[in-house]
Amino acid sequence: MLKRLVIGRAKRSEELGETLLPKRLALPIFASDPLSSVAYATQEILLVLTLGGLAYLHFTPWIAGAVVALMVVVVLSYRQVVHAYPSGGGSYEVASTNLGPSAGLVVAASLMVDYVMTVAVSVASGVDNIVSALPALADYRVEMALVFVALLTAINLRGVRESGQAFAAPTYLFISGVLIMVGTGLLRYLLGDAPVAESAAYGIEPDPGDTHLQGLALVMLVLRAFSSGCTALTGVEAISNGVPAFRKPKSRNAAATLAAMGLIAITMFVGVTTLALVAKVHITDDPCRLTGLPGDCSSYIQRTVIAQLAASVFGGENSVGFYFIQAATALVLILAANTAFNGFPLLASILAQRRYLPRQLHNRGDRLAFSNGILALAIVAGLLLWAYKANVTSLIHLYILGVFTSFTLSQTGMVRHWNRELRTETDPAVRRRHHGARVINATGAVITCLVLVIVLATKFTQGAWLAVLAAIVLFGMMRSIRRHYDTVSAELAVTDPRSEMVPPSRVLAIVLVSTIHKPTLRALAYARALRPDQLEALNVAVDRDASNELQRQWEHYAIPVPLKVLDSPYREITGSVMDYVRSIRRDSPRDVVAVFIPEYVVGHWWEAGLHNHSALWLKSRLLFTPGVMVISVPWQLSSSARADRPAARAPGSVRRGEPTRARTSKDVSMHR
């Protein structure tokens, strides 16, 4: 019941086609991550640079320029991917096709780690922006973050298409809001009335370790700032992974969406960064390094860069414009996490289909979403947010490593792809196009590899090692899972159907009996109906008195089946039965032993706790014995009939277990 309320009614498999996305919905769904990272990319650059005080802020335009150039390269590269691989799978597909399954798995593992980080970082940053507008909520960061993850999970369990509609409006509001803010701010600057951030008057003392940096140390600081700025590139991936979800023509639509996303993201990023410099936003990872603060540094809540800009442009933190920008930013960040909720389960499902992950991840839920993948993502991201107290700056150190690993490998794969194409292609026009594409992808590969090295060098000791470790563990896990599935399917494969269908020479039946009641008698009746070659009842004498009483009653009722009693000095049933069955098999290895277990079924979970579970344990152990079949003969207590009765369902609700065709009322009454 609760499940229906949260998730909605089950969908038929044929409804899958309906969930394809038009471009205007695909953009917010797949691109809200790179777009929203505008909200923190500039800020992360400034946070690193101000480790050295205000002295190095003049590097900002150069760093931002490098990030923009990188983004152009990556977007161009991925447009080639989208065209070459319209079936989706994105970087994973590209890497595994062109560089082999291991490279594909490396990409897959890194992407999965980064999807988790996307959720964590975006939600944490969204919460930051909410706190910037409503400082009273500062103490509830973690709780808010977890609530948002739970909401996203519920929304996604309801299915892709509905989430697209829910997410389009905030994304477009955010884009227009930021562009209006940047436009207004720069216009005011040109008119000589430049906006001034609330922190413009504060100085920043350098971090003790980062004063008067020179030479290599300064280069490292700038590179670290660049690494942090590269968070703007996360999620570009998502569109190329999601090509199959686009409407036809899939590749063309995906490429167009990618280009639009790149343009919008670059415009916003450049605008926000320029405005931050103009308005002199002074932000630091430790408010106690700020000088000129009016009060105590520990109680000062630094606003995010976006918040400071909105306040300065629109006239203070009580203006409508400020609240609008904060609301849109927070919303789009929370929803950016949704990119991962689309990408992660899709990737997991592809991997599960290829048997690198448990096959449950390939099952579509009632609403046609990959429910298990969604839940896995939510749980891990929730744990991270809890462990890192929803702190963006701590979380961001674990981020983007996976993105650049997959960039590098997929671009390298693309170069190989074009090489192969060129080997067979003869049409000069096509060859020219392929050559051009190869140049783009080669450039992309070299540059993203360079960035990967920079990120690794500057972030490894700051927390990135954990992301690396997680990716390695995932990689190893996926390989062993694949190995396991391969072993099992090789073992199960039919080699000689004729001999494998040869029936056993005889069926020897045993009915387990503890006491004489209706379930026992029914089991005996059913066992006789199957006419086995030999039939006996078996009692394990855990309690000698009870066993004697059983034998007495057996004679009294004149039950026409021989009763055998086994001694069990250690008061335990399973081992005695297992051993007896094995001894039969030993005497006649070509026969099969059918073990009948009378069971009674109760209706309520708490009732189940009141009965021994020896039957369950015994059944699970017997399954390990060769040449055995285990036959449960249930006897339904009246409470179980109530629990199973279809009429007990809420009217109009559709449950798992709903029949495949209409049930007549006669049927219902029959099973009461």
* CB 24 within 8 Å of CB 253: no
Nearer to a second copy, 30 or 554 (CB): 554
Q: To the nearest whole angstrom, how small is the minimum distance from the Cβ of residue 595 to a second copy?
A: 10
Q: Which is nearer to a second copy, 83 or 619 (CB)?
A: 619
Q: At what angle do helices 215-229 and 60-84 cross, to 10 degrees?
A: 50
Q: Is residue 629 classed as helix, strand or coil in its secondary structure? A: strand
Residue 294 or 626: the one with the smaller Cβ distance to a second copy is 626
555 binds a second copy (CB under 8 A): no
Can you tell me which of 10, 218, 422, 563 binds a second copy, judged by CB under 8 A? 10
Q: CB count, 10 Å around CB of 384?
A: 23
Give the shortest CB-111-to-a second copy separation in angstroms: 21
Cβ atoms of 584 and 591 within 8 Å: the answer is yes
- Comparing CB distances to a second copy, the nearer of 454 and 629 is 629
- In whole angstroms, the minimum distance from the beta carbon of 466 to a second copy comes to 23
Distance CA 116, CA 42 (A): 22
The residues in 436-475 that bind a second copy, with binding defined as CB under 8 A, are: none
Comparison of 319 and 625: residue with beta carbon closer to a second copy = 625
Q: Which is nearer to a second copy, 318 or 612 (CB)?
A: 612
In order, the DSSP letters of 512-551 are E-SS-SHHHHHHHHHHHHT--SEEEEEEEESSHHHHHHHH
Total number of residues that touch a second copy (CB under 8 A): 104
Residues 6+ apart with CB under 8 A from 135: 301
567 touching a second copy, by CB under 8 A: yes
| Contact between 363 and a second copy per CB under 8 A | yes
Q: Both tokens of residue 366?
A: 């009632």
Q: Is 570 in the site for a second copy (CB under 8 A)?
A: yes
CB of 88 to a second copy, least distance (A): 19
Give the contact letters, 622-651, x = binds to a second copy (CB under 8 A), - = no.
xxxxx-xxxxxxxxxxx-xx-xx-------
Q: Is 656 in the site for a second copy (CB under 8 A)?
A: yes
Q: What are the distances in angstroms from CA 7 to CA 18, 97, 429?
A: 18, 36, 51
**Looking at 29-37, 168-176, 384-392, 586-594, which segment touches a second copy (CB under 8 A)?**
586-594
Residue from 12, 139, 320, 426 touching a second copy (CB under 8 A): that is 12
For residue 567, what is the enclosing H or E element? strand 563-567
| Residue 534 binds a second copy (CB under 8 A) | no
Choice from 143, 486, 549, 572 touching a second copy (CB under 8 A)? 572
Helix 464-492 vs helix 428-459: angle between axes, to the nearest 10 degrees? Answer: 120
Asked if residues 595 and 622 have their Cβ atoms less than 8 Å apart, the reply is yes
Amino acid at 403: V
Those residues whose C-beta lies under 8 Å from the C-beta of residue 355, and which sit 6 or more positions away, are: 481, 482, 485, 486
In whole angstroms, the minimum distance from the beta carbon of 209 to a second copy comes to 35
Residue 630: strand, helix, or coil: strand
For residues 91 and 94, give the distance between their C-alpha atoms in angstroms, rounded to a whole number. Answer: 5
Least distance from a second copy to the Cβ atom of residue 501, Å? 5
Contact status: 549 vs a second copy (CB under 8 A): no
Residues in 594-623 that interact with a second copy by CB under 8 A: 594, 596, 599-602, 607, 609-612, 619, 621-623
Please state the separation of Cα 431 from the chain's center in Å.
40
CA distance 593 to 21: 56
Q: Shortest CA distance to 503 belongs to which of 577, 591, 583?
A: 591
- The structure tokens listed for 257 are 């969406």
CB 492, min distance to a second copy, A: 4
Q: Pick from 571, 590, 647, 653: which binds a second copy (CB under 8 A)?
A: 571
Choose the binding region for a second copy from 25-33, 374-382, 410-418, 571-579 (rule: CB under 8 A): 571-579
379 binds a second copy (CB under 8 A): no
* Interaction mask 473-512, a second copy, x per CB under 8 A: --------x--xx--xx-xxxx--x--xxxxx--x-----
Residue closest to 283 by CA, chosen among 305, 314, 300, 307: 305
From the list 169, 201, 530, 546, which residue makes contact with a second copy (rule: CB under 8 A)? 530
